[in-house]
Structure 1
Amino acid sequence: KKVVILSILMHSTNRKSNGLQSLSGIFLQSTHTPQKVIETLARMGISVSVDAIHAAVQSLSAESHCAIQQLGRTLLAAYAYDNFDVDLKTTNPTVEKSTDTLKHLTSGLLFPL
């Protein structure tokens, strides 16, 4: 409780001091919390806004993309691929929608050595 209160007070005096709010916002986004709840928590000072969360996720994705590209250019990485199948069945199959529901996908990982 003390950490949250201190974090809210710090954030109210300096908008760049939002570590706890950013962390809680990304956590709320990852758990599929409704946007209205996130906006309410942002107004209370417990989280950052939905737009700030999206910007943070976009920035983290871009940084990860660059880091993976740099790692892939070195010879210090191992590649792993896996094929898997997903059956996307509908609850009410109809004659009009008699398409193939089996999807064949490939997953890839890059491990630093």
Structure 2
Amino acid sequence: MKGDVESYYEAGQWKTKVEGNQQASHTHDQKEEAVAKGREMAVERGVEHFIRNMDGTIGERHTYPRSRDPRNIPADTPVGVPPSAFPRRRSKDRCAPRRTS
């Protein structure tokens, strides 16, 4: 999505940047600071926050608001149906049934 927020490591600093911008919006000495600022920015904008590891791989990805997270939408959902039309699944609903001996 245009305007997603990314927290990443570059040139000895942790940075936070909005997708489409040429430069980082904020720089930080600690990863935790960059992640906190990135989360704040993503929540304000209602977009995804990508948190990269030092090697550039995506370590975490969060969607704000959480109701827009595509992982919470059933696969057979018709296009155009908002995620709020479906009840949130509980974590125990996602687990495989226990085997009994």
Taking structure 1 as the reference length, the TM-score comes to 0.23
Task: Report the structure number with the largest CA radius of gyration.
Answer: 1
Higher relative strand content: 2
Taking structure 2 as the reference length, the TM-score comes to 0.24
Higher relative helix content: 1
